Structure 1
Amino acid sequence: MALHNDRNYGDFIPVKRSLGGVWSNIVQVLNITVVEGIQLKNYFKVAVGNGEETSFWLDHWIGPKPLKDSFPLLFNIEEVKDCNLNCCLGNRNDMVRLKWRWKRPLSSEAEINEMVGLCSLLSQVELNQEKDEWKWFGPSAIVDPDFSVRLVRQLLESGSNRGVNYVPERCKWIPDKCNIFIWRAEMGKIATVDALNRRNIDVGTVCGLCGDGEESVDHLFTSCDVASLLWAYICNWCRCANIVAFSFKDLIEFHNHSGFEGKKKDVLKGLIRIGCWVVWRARNESRFKNSEVNLNHIFGEVKRVGFLWFSSRKKCVSTSWSDWCKFVNL
């Protein structure tokens, strides 16, 4: 798979130039993504041919990383930092020919040691008539040398510690957008006031629903008076014990401790997630449109949206509005 690079001192990754504006985003992702202490971009390496399309210092073509990182003192005194490989190295009479462009003579023991190490590394390099190509040299390259997105995904998954991060259980009968919202809220990745303040965006501290207390994920969905009353309404409707939650995680795991089984447990799990979704929408309406917070409207929206999604998305289930309103008949 022949790919190209861009000359930007170290931010070299094998992507096609046709990516255009997407290029800078890909560069940033590959530069900051680290798997087991190794930058993701370093799993790509040039298979050298004629050396005409490979940067001697900046591309990763020999050794564990680009030469500019392995020999920083020599790179510092290099006059042409983006020179190509074929300009610095060639073969003549079965001997490796090296050509340097130093700004000044080598002047320290450390520079001389780097020079010895570099020459030793280059002693076995031979150029040929083939074109330079970028290759995938990830851990699975021995089994599958051809690059694919699947291999990168497997590498990222193998380097991640899934035991550290809590991932909320997915509710199958509500849309993905709602499940994703719950997941992001649990990680603190929604734009609550405290999250914005941490990013130096000053929007005050007051909760957008109750107007009392500092707005955070835990406050908005568990401590806020509006949310607390909503959960009381839902528990009364579902005929279950009142929700006692000290954190957002406690709230979205409540269905496991409700005493319900089967369909009712599944419905309660979805209703709590829908309640969070509707509370967040009501908070945004109040903050950005100055709308009045109406608890009856919020509760009615949870019942209405819940019935719409459950009746249309739950397979092999036929539920009437009357039975939905009488939760015990489910």
Structure 2
Amino acid sequence: MEDWGVLAARYGIDRGRLREGGRSGSSWWREIARIRDGVADIGGGWFGESVVRKVGDEVETFFWTDPWLDGIPLCERFQRLFDLSVNKSSTVAECFSLGWGVGGEVWAWRRQLWAWEEELVVECQALLHNFVLQDQSIDMWLWRPDPIPGLPTKDNLAHRGIITAEAQSCVAGCGALESAQHLFISCSTFGSLWMLVRSWLGVSLADPLDLTGHFSQFTFSSGSARARRSFLQLIWLLCVWTIWKERNNRLFRNSEQSVSQLMDQVKLHSYWWLKSSNITLAYNYHCWWSSPFLCLGIL
């Protein structure tokens, strides 16, 4: 809070927030304030939309202006109360000590409230009723997870404006749009790799429609023993990596392998990955090609 005090002394506070400072403010501070307020030249309010306040002891979190409760600042949810409050710059910890229950001292106003404004106070108190300060942890800002998947599939690239909507076709030539779910599971070309993998492992299951469900079902398809699950997790990740590498080769190098050749890659790489990790295999490479569980001794 020492830095806050320095900035507050120099630039002043308006509605519980540090002022931009106008022409008297330094250029770096004006730029930070513009980003905070969502008026930067590029991206608008990207910063406010990308961070959330993680509650701790709340010593450094402001009651009205920080998004510490359900990700929305109370000054936005209860703007009328914020306008009337005399404690605009108080922290959550300070307001908690003043008391925010019925009759609490935090509810100090510039004038007497109307009946409908009193109802807003009751609503706000209901939100605060079960909140408990976490004395053993500090306040911090966290980045929100990006709702758009990070994998640069064509649908993702089109969503970000990197490629046109017309350029989203799957590289396998199946005619569908390339998404992660399509590429790794439902594509008639790449998705058929899973059938060969299941035959190699001697397991049978229906493919779920989403990647998370597919991973969970695949890794438990041969029982819940830890050794089996760990091995199947390796195979699942290796299949995804093999498909993605083949996708890139087709897209950028104009080279193509059959699904049978991709299956051979899965067998080959899984064998050498395990060998490089000093995993003892009961039988030789040729046995691995047909009976991986037997080689691992986890039948």
Q: What's the TM-score, normalizing by structure 1?
A: 0.47
Q: Following the alignment from structure 1 to structure 2, what is the Cα–Cα distance between the partners of residues 308 and 258?
A: 23
Aligned counterpart, 1:328: 293
Q: Structure 1 23/254 Cα, relative in aligned 2: closer, same or farther at 3 Å?
A: same
Aligned counterpart, 1:94: none
**2:192 counterpart (203, 220, 229):** 229
Deviation string for 1:146-171 (max 9, x for gaps)?
x85xx437xx69xx9xxxx9xxxxxx
Q: Does 1:44 align with 2:61?
A: yes
Q: Following the alignment from structure 1 to structure 2, what is the Cα–Cα distance between the partners of residues 328 and 71?
A: 68
Q: Does 1:285 align with 2:238?
A: no
- Tell me the SS of whatever aligns to 1:214: coil
Q: Which amino acid aligns with 2:51?
A: T
Q: Structure 1 321/274 Cα, relative in aligned 2: closer, same or farther at 3 Å?
A: farther
Q: Following the alignment from structure 1 to structure 2, what is the Cα–Cα distance between the partners of residues 206 and 242?
A: 28
Q: Which runs of 5+ in 2 are unaligned?
A: 20-25, 37-45, 67-73, 90-108, 113-130
Q: Which amino acid aligns with 2:175?
A: D
Q: Which amino acid aligns with 1:193?
A: K
Aligned counterpart, 1:199: 160
Structure 1 contact 232–243 (Cα < 8 Å) conserved: no
Q: Structure 1 44/249 Cα, relative in aligned 2: closer, same or farther at 3 Å?
A: closer
Aligned counterpart, 1:33: 51
Q: Which amino acid aligns with 1:198?
A: H
Q: Does 1:190 align with 2:178?
A: no
Q: Following the alignment from structure 2 to structure 1, what is the Cα–Cα distance between the partners of residues 149 and 50?
A: 21
Q: How do residues 46-85 of structure 1 correspond to structure 2 at under 5 angstroms? A: 70-71=82-83
Q: Does 1:152 align with 2:140?
A: yes
Q: Structure 1 264/25 Cα, relative in aligned 2: closer, same or farther at 3 Å?
A: farther
Q: Following the alignment from structure 1 to structure 2, what is the Cα–Cα distance between the partners of residues 25 and 310?
A: 52
Aligned counterpart, 2:271: 307
- Tell me the SS of whatever aligns to 1:208: coil
In the TM superposition, what is the alpha-carbon distance from 1:232 to its structure 2 partner? 1.8
Structure 1 contact 238–327 (Cα < 8 Å) conserved: yes
Q: Structure 1 214/11 Cα, relative in aligned 2: closer, same or farther at 3 Å?
A: farther
Q: Structure 1 227/245 Cα, relative in aligned 2: closer, same or farther at 3 Å?
A: farther
- Which deviates the most, 245-254 or 280-289? 245-254
Structure 1 contact 209–293 (Cα < 8 Å) conserved: no
Q: Following the alignment from structure 2 to structure 1, what is the Cα–Cα distance between the partners of residues 172 and 248?
A: 9
In the TM superposition, what is the alpha-carbon distance from 1:30 to its structure 2 partner? 5.6
- Which deviates the most, 211-220 or 194-203? 194-203
Q: Structure 1 35/45 Cα, relative in aligned 2: closer, same or farther at 3 Å?
A: closer
- Tell me the SS of whatever aligns to 2:265: helix
Deviation string for 1:62-82 (max 9, x for gaps)?
xx769x99449xxxxxxxxxx
- Tell me the SS of whatever aligns to 1:44: coil
In the TM superposition, what is the alpha-carbon distance from 1:188 to its structure 2 partner? 4.0
The structure with higher relative contact order (CA 8 Å, sep 6+) is 1
Q: Following the alignment from structure 1 to structure 2, what is the Cα–Cα distance between the partners of residues 43 and 225?
A: 54
Q: Which runs of 5+ in 1 are unaligned?
A: 47-57, 73-84, 86-116, 121-137, 166-183
Aligned counterpart, 1:123: none
Structure 2 contact 155–178 (Cα < 8 Å) conserved: yes
Q: What's the TM-score, normalizing by structure 2?
A: 0.51
Q: How do residues 122-201 of structure 1 correspond to structure 2 at under 5 angstroms? A: 140=133, 143=135, 148=138, 151-152=139-140, 188-200=149-161, 201=163
Structure 2 contact 271–288 (Cα < 8 Å) conserved: yes
Aligned counterpart, 2:97: none
In the TM superposition, what is the alpha-carbon distance from 1:43 to its structure 2 partner? 4.9
In the TM superposition, what is the alpha-carbon distance from 1:236 to its structure 2 partner? 1.8
Q: Following the alignment from structure 1 to structure 2, what is the Cα–Cα distance between the partners of residues 256 and 31?
A: 36
The CA RMSD over aligned residues, in Å, is 5.1
In the TM superposition, what is the alpha-carbon distance from 1:205 to its structure 2 partner? 2.9
In the TM superposition, what is the alpha-carbon distance from 1:32 to its structure 2 partner? 4.3
Q: Percent sequence identity over matched residues?
A: 18
Aligned counterpart, 1:295: 259
Aligned counterpart, 2:208: 245
Q: Which amino acid aligns with 2:182?
A: H
Aligned residues: 213
Aligned counterpart, 1:255: 218
In the TM superposition, what is the alpha-carbon distance from 1:327 to its structure 2 partner? 1.0
Q: Which amino acid aligns with 1:191?
A: P
Q: Following the alignment from structure 2 to structure 1, what is the Cα–Cα distance between the partners of residues 235 and 269?
A: 9
